[in-house]
Structure 1
Amino acid sequence: MQIKAAEAISELSTFGLGETALSLFHSEGDTRVYQRKVAGTPFGELTSTGAMALSMDALGYALYNSTSNDHRTFLGLHYATDYLEGAVLNKSMSRTHDDPFLWLGAKYKKTYLPNTTMFEPRDTTYLEYSASSVDVHGRRRVVFIQDSKVFPTFPPVPEVVRMEFTLMHLFTEVSDGRVEFVTRYVLGSLGKGVPTFLAKKMLLRNLILDPHLPQLVQKRRLLDNSIINSHGGITPVVPTIRGTDLIEIVEHTTPPHRDYMQQHEHPLQHHQYGGTGPPPRSKQVSSYSNSTNSSSYRRDAGPTAATTEAMDGWMDGEGAPSDAPSTIEAMEMLQHMQTSLEDQKMLLHLMRMRLANRTDQYDASSHFSLRYTSLPKSESARHLGFDWITKHLFYNLQREVDHCHFPSTHDPYLSVRAEPIDDTHVISHASQRVEPVAFHIAVQCMRKMVLQFPGSIEELDPTTPDMTYLRYRAAVGHNEYFENTLMREFHEDDRYTIVVLIISEDDKYPTSGLRRNWTQWVQVEPVDATHSVIRQGTTWFGLRDATRSLAIEDSTTFGPHFAACKDDDHKLAAYALLLQGSMALVAEDENAEFRRLAIEFQSASVTPH
């Protein structure tokens, strides 16, 4: 750990110098969080930087926790109602006269994911090392390192997900009462099914700890009911501990019996390695811990139905002012409603994931497309046809979105399927991505890229505010043909939709030669005030002429690559693979164009539609 500490000081003290692979992940106040992609870690390497008004002594008061009692107090203040349990498993080094921050030991913590109990709790066992030194400028600095470690004597607890992580803090005292910090966090897998936004909350809860340390110190002082100890400092007194080597302690420790751990919600609190439990705690800490130790049931606790009904009656003017709830009661009810709302959101997310993971067979006959369409010459009939065709696609679009099995976590997604149908084949493509732009900006970009797609050679019917009917030239190899393309947009409060369709037969604007029927759709929805999710899909059939459908290899420029395959099934499989790679490249170009347009619209101060 001392070697790791030296490496951490070297890396964190020079963070950002000459870095070219960093991207801004998050900002809050004066704190900036940067991300660097690292192989083998789902979230990469995250580093936060900033400064805070805090003395080194107060820093030690907050983070130096050498007893289970102090460790639990810190976890309770930091994780609030998400805290479940914590313990100091053993210790090998403790503070000395020369280094008040020196500590080496093993710890345990168990928490819920932020603001929800819909997922199993997460726990971890880890080594912690801290020490202080002086840099080349004569400034005091402190390094804290936490590195998860699997102890054979402390196996995972049933129904709790064991996490792996590395957390490093480097604090430098730049002036009296002011500390600069650099924090690096590398997190392993959180387990299956955890949405990206929830994982981000958990990451930031550790990375944005430092700016909140002054508040945490103040709360801890109130909790300990003592600002200054008998030594005249604010650092709590910790006795010198005689310990054997840390590894020897870990190897000779007796783990709690698994059956006992299954019977108790918080096994460490009552049974620590065959011991008699933690020493008695102060009244204040015991009271706090008792309230947090019942946090596994906290979502059902809260205001009773009678209290809530009384609150409703008072709000409706039925009660006297004296019947109004106290500030504490009102805050409890507000917290209860907020946590209930979070649980409802998480339940919705889980149900969406369950639906997305269904393995029911996709019905090829229900492909999202009107395979054959026709328009007469009559103007009144044509406009009726335009309206019916586009609304039919719009009102049936949700079924196609459900069939695409998009991840409910808003993670990037790309799917290409190739299947035989009748005497030809059908290709189904779907994609999803999140763009860091507001909803109205994303709408403007997609309208420009799809509804106003350049290159048309003729406007077939007069364009209306929400619909266009244009003719485009298309080609496959040396074969050129024309496509009469109908496009329409639909606006809803929280969704923007575009549908695009090739009209098969048009008596007023006929086409001849080769033709291909295809349908495209685009959906844009807000994720939050600064992000939007974009989903797209396309369904297209093989080329055909007036009498027959062409062979698979004649319907695409990829034909020569799989023409030698022995049958159509193998050809379609090869075709799908080639399309997957090709469309990924096309998506990169489209994403780049989207971001160029987004910058253009943002600089022009585009207002919501």
Structure 2
Amino acid sequence: MESMDEAKKEHRRLVLRLRNRVKQKKRRDRYLNERERLLAQVTEMRSVLTELGHKQVVPTSLLPWKDVAGSLAQASVEARLSLQVLRDRCEAMYRLGRVMSAWVGSMSRRNNVPDVGRPFTSTPIVLLADAASRKLGLDWFTQHMYYNTDRMQQLCAFPSSGTVRDISVVDHENGVSDILGRIQIDCDLPLEATYAALHDKIWDELRGDTQAAMSEFLDADIIKSIDAKMVYRRTALTADESNYYVCREFATQDRIVFLFGNFSQDALQPENVRWRPRMFWYCLERLGAGHTRIKQILYNGPKVVHNQIVPWTSDADWISESFSDDPQFQQYERWVNKDWQPMLESDFAVLSSPRRRDPPSAP
């Protein structure tokens, strides 16, 4: 029994001795790790001290209150100036917004898209004087024409196929009439090839190169900031009548639209005593992989003299040539067709040119 008790005691002593050794090892490991960490910090601090020793130490001192107050006063002045600049800019934008809102409101859609009984030309379209308003006005007017392209095509009632070349006079039964010319040509060329063939010819028309009267190009810097290909020009017809045409091109994947229309007045140019609204659209539309439809819309509104619409019944241009006993409106229609036909035939010849392919060369 005594031997067994001695064995148990010996076992407990061995276990206790082993446990103490493990504790001592853990304590020693912690000590060594802490020693290595402290030595690394010492090395890092020595390196920093060595680096600082090579730098010139600039003595520091607090700024005098006078300097601090001066800096704060200058910052306050700059803040007030910035605030005034922002207020002036805000006021200018507010005034511009009100002016352009009234300008656009004067040409609301019901007055600017032709409809039976209501010509869209009775409201003058004046391009304003200041640069910001001019830029917005030129951009808005051409965008407005572009987004009404489909409505104009619907008004012209183009057929679903075939060639069209005609002129119609719309009588609004109130002494006012609109003139519409339309051309439609189906071309056996892809849209891209048709565009390449007609681009320069159409732009010759937009720039006024094909007209007898010379054109003066206006506001080049403003125009280029809107669209690099855009044109704004004045064509003087007489001493008291000028066309202020703005011309632009719009393109999507399946349709390209060239257009131009005129303002009734430019606030920076000589006053127009007389004018008539004129708008033109050239549309190239993809019909398929190798086919393109070409459309042209020519619009003339009623004459306006001293801000008063001149009824067609009082238009001296055609009355002087009226000798028939036919109804007056029929005589007027014939005169319009006779007057417009040469221009329509000329445009038709230009737009038909892509269809005239050269014969294939001999092998």
Task: Compute the TM-score of the two structures, normalised by the length of structure 1.
Answer: 0.34
Amino acid across the alignment from 1:574 = Q
Q: Quote how far apart the aligned CAs of 1:561 are.
A: 3.1
Residue aligning to 2:127: 375
CA contact (8 A) 1:423 1:549 kept: no
Residue aligning to 1:458: 216
Looking at CA atoms only, which structure, 1 or 2, has the larger radius of gyration? 2
CA contact (8 A) 1:485 1:500 kept: yes
Amino acid across the alignment from 1:416 = S
Paired with 2:298 and 2:316, the residues of 1 have a C-alpha distance of: 16
Amino acid across the alignment from 2:319 = G
Paired with 1:369 and 1:437, the residues of 2 have a C-alpha distance of: 37
Residues 1:409 and 2:161 are matched in the alignment: yes
Change (3 A) 1:410 1:564: closer
Residues 1:515 and 2:281 are matched in the alignment: no
CA contact (8 A) 1:418 1:575 kept: no
Paired with 1:451 and 1:363, the residues of 2 have a C-alpha distance of: 26
Paired with 1:369 and 1:561, the residues of 2 have a C-alpha distance of: 26
Residues 1:440 and 2:192 are matched in the alignment: yes
CA contact (8 A) 1:487 1:499 kept: yes
Residues 1:468 and 2:228 are matched in the alignment: no
Residue aligning to 1:579: 336
Residue aligning to 2:35: none
Report the secondary structure of 2:330's partner residue. helix
CA-atom RMSD in angstroms:
3.3
Paired with 1:449 and 1:531, the residues of 2 have a C-alpha distance of: 24
Identity %: 19
Amino acid across the alignment from 2:285 = E
Residue aligning to 2:92: none
CA contact (8 A) 2:188 2:355 kept: no
Residue aligning to 1:244: none
Amino acid across the alignment from 1:472 = T
Paired with 1:565 and 1:539, the residues of 2 have a C-alpha distance of: 28
Paired with 2:333 and 2:283, the residues of 1 have a C-alpha distance of: 24
Task: Show CA shifts across 1:157-208 (max 9, x none).
Answer: xxxxxxxxxxxxxxxxxxxxxxxxxxxxxxxxxxxxxxxxxxxxxxxxxxxx
Higher relative contact order (CA 8 A, sep 6+): 2
Alignment of 1:557-568 (within 5 A): 557-562=317-322
Change (3 A) 1:556 1:453: farther
Paired with 2:121 and 2:150, the residues of 1 have a C-alpha distance of: 13
CA contact (8 A) 2:121 2:302 kept: no
Residue aligning to 1:486: 246
Task: Compute the TM-score of the two structures, normalised by the length of structure 2.
Answer: 0.55
Task: Show CA shifts across 1:376-403 (max 9, x none).
Answer: 1111111111111111221122122122
Q: Quote how far apart the aligned CAs of 1:484 are.
A: 0.8
Alignment of 1:230-245 (within 5 A): none
Paired with 1:575 and 1:520, the residues of 2 have a C-alpha distance of: 22
Change (3 A) 1:419 1:506: same
Report the secondary structure of 1:448's partner residue. helix
CA contact (8 A) 2:167 2:179 kept: no
Q: Quote how far apart the aligned CAs of 1:581 are.
A: 5.0
Alignment of 1:273-288 (within 5 A): none
Report the secondary structure of 2:309's partner residue. coil
Q: Quote how far apart the aligned CAs of 1:533 are.
A: 1.4
Q: Quote how far apart the aligned CAs of 1:524 are.
A: 1.1
Paired with 2:143 and 2:264, the residues of 1 have a C-alpha distance of: 17
CA contact (8 A) 1:521 1:538 kept: yes
Residue aligning to 2:29: none
Paired with 1:482 and 1:436, the residues of 2 have a C-alpha distance of: 39
Q: Quote how far apart the aligned CAs of 1:525 are.
A: 1.0
Q: Which runs of 5+ in 1 are unaligned?
A: 1-361, 603-609
Q: Quote how far apart the aligned CAs of 1:483 are.
A: 1.0
Q: Quote how far apart the aligned CAs of 1:504 are.
A: 1.1
Paired with 1:492 and 1:556, the residues of 2 have a C-alpha distance of: 44
Change (3 A) 1:535 1:595: closer
Paired with 1:421 and 1:499, the residues of 2 have a C-alpha distance of: 29
Amino acid across the alignment from 2:333 = A
Higher helix proportion, which one?
2
Paired with 2:122 and 2:306, the residues of 1 have a C-alpha distance of: 18
Change (3 A) 1:577 1:426: same
Report the secondary structure of 1:561's partner residue. coil
Paired with 2:322 and 2:275, the residues of 1 have a C-alpha distance of: 22
Q: Quote how far apart the aligned CAs of 1:469 are.
A: 0.8
Paired with 2:236 and 2:354, the residues of 1 have a C-alpha distance of: 25
Q: Quote how far apart the aligned CAs of 1:470 are.
A: 0.4
CA contact (8 A) 1:466 1:490 kept: no
Residues 1:535 and 2:292 are matched in the alignment: no
Aligned pair partner of 2:150 in 395, 398, 409: 398
Paired with 1:368 and 1:488, the residues of 2 have a C-alpha distance of: 21
Change (3 A) 1:470 1:461: same
Q: Which runs of 5+ in 2 are unaligned?
A: 1-113, 359-363
Task: Show CA shifts across 1:242-300 (max 9, x none).
Answer: xxxxxxxxxxxxxxxxxxxxxxxxxxxxxxxxxxxxxxxxxxxxxxxxxxxxxxxxxxx
CA contact (8 A) 2:324 2:331 kept: no
CA contact (8 A) 1:418 1:573 kept: no
